Amino acid sequence: MVRDHSVSAKVLDAVVHLTMLLVLLVCLVPLLNIVAYSLSTSHAVSAGGITILPKEFSLAGYKAILRDSLIPRAFLNSVVITVLGTLINVVLTMLTAYPLSKKHLPFRTFYMVLIVSTMFFGGGLIPTFILVNALGLSNSFLALILPGAISVWNLIIMMSFFRGFPVELEESARLDGAGDIAIIARIVIPLSLAPIATIALFYAVGHWNSYFQALIYLHDTKKYPLQLILREIVLDQQMAADLAVRSGTDQSPVTSESVKYSTLVISIVPMLIVYPYIQKYFVKGVMVGSLKG
């Protein structure tokens, strides 16, 4: 690769690097500020003035929310919803994208028109709510997963990848007696890890950050995901104050602000841990899904 050493190229590199540095700071500073607040004592949080470094380092906020069963239970609910939802999403997306990528599929164009039309038209909140209740899914985790089980955007990414899949591999497998399910399980999936990891990340982040569906369909507080509890803590100061009173002790008093910031950090950390392991597939998966076909 020949590198351009002209003045215009160096100026462009400088602008790009400065822009990326600015974007990094805009994203990183608020995160560090939240972490600093969560690691400061209640007195320092009440006094304010915390920037990106904690004052009077303390883990009292984390100990407080872990001492009460509300946050750990909500965290576990979010993990279950995210893992189960992502698994269902990926399986259904692949099983739908694979046949639709075949030009010989009968009524393929008709199916695609119906599927793509859902990107522009929807039934609306009330009809969807009535349908979920009629199916008996209300107040269950499936009510948060099944209505959006397949994302059309992710479906198109997988279809684009499958269109560029080597036909010779499938034909050789059929000569050996393999059926469609065997071909998908033994050939397609092992060779599709990049796009699968990409759409799995999209689905997982969507489930982890979602709270609106839980707000509508869940009635039992014991089934609330972490994001819904976090919403209640942020919007309802009384809930945060009650949690602080229940969790604090005379030796380590806790304020509602400490509870709020500690819960925020706990809600952010899982995605920060998962992303580095999937990031190596991310760019490749998106590019493969967009260029092939």
Lowest-confidence region among 34-38, 201-205, 214-218, 237-241: 237-241
**Are 109 and 192 contained in the same domain?**
yes
Check residue 291 and give its pLDDT: 45
**Are 105 and 20 contained in the same domain?**
no
Q: Specify the 3-state DSSP secondary structure of 57.
A: strand
**Are 141 and 262 contained in the same domain?**
yes
Q: Is residue 115 domain-resident?
A: yes
pTM beyond 0.85: the answer is no
pLDDT band per the 50, 70, 90 thresholds, residue 69: confident
Question: For the chain, how many structural domains are there in total?
Answer: 2
The CATH number linked to 165 is 1.10.3720.10
- Domain limits for position 231: 62-291
Asked if 141 contacts 80 with a C-beta cutoff of 8 angstroms, the reply is yes
The DSSP code sequence of 5-28 is: -SHHHHHHHHHHHHHHHHHHHHHH
pLDDT band per the 50, 70, 90 thresholds, residue 22: very high
Q: Is residue 53 domain-resident?
A: no
Asked if 40 contacts 259 with a C-beta cutoff of 8 angstroms, the reply is no
Give the Cα separation of 38 and 34 in Å (integer): 6
Q: Helix 226-235 crosses helix 237-247 at what angle (to 10 degrees)?
A: 110
> What pLDDT digit, counting tens, does each position of 259-292 carry?
788 888 888 888 888 877 777 666 655 555 444 4
Task: Give me the residue label for tokens 């608020």.
Answer: 30
**Are 151 and 280 contained in the same domain?**
yes
Give the Cα separation of 169 and 257 in Å (integer): 58
Q: Is residue 158 domain-resident?
A: yes
Check residue 248 and give its pLDDT: 56
**Are 36 and 136 contained in the same domain?**
no
**pLDDT higher at 84 or 178:** 84
Q: Is residue 56 domain-resident?
A: no
Q: Is residue 146 domain-resident?
A: yes
Check residue 258 and give its pLDDT: 77
Tokens of 156: 């198109």
Q: Is residue 54 domain-resident?
A: no
Give the Cα separation of 225 and 210 in Å (integer): 9
> What pLDDT digit, counting tens, does each position of 216-232 carry?
999 888 899 999 888 88
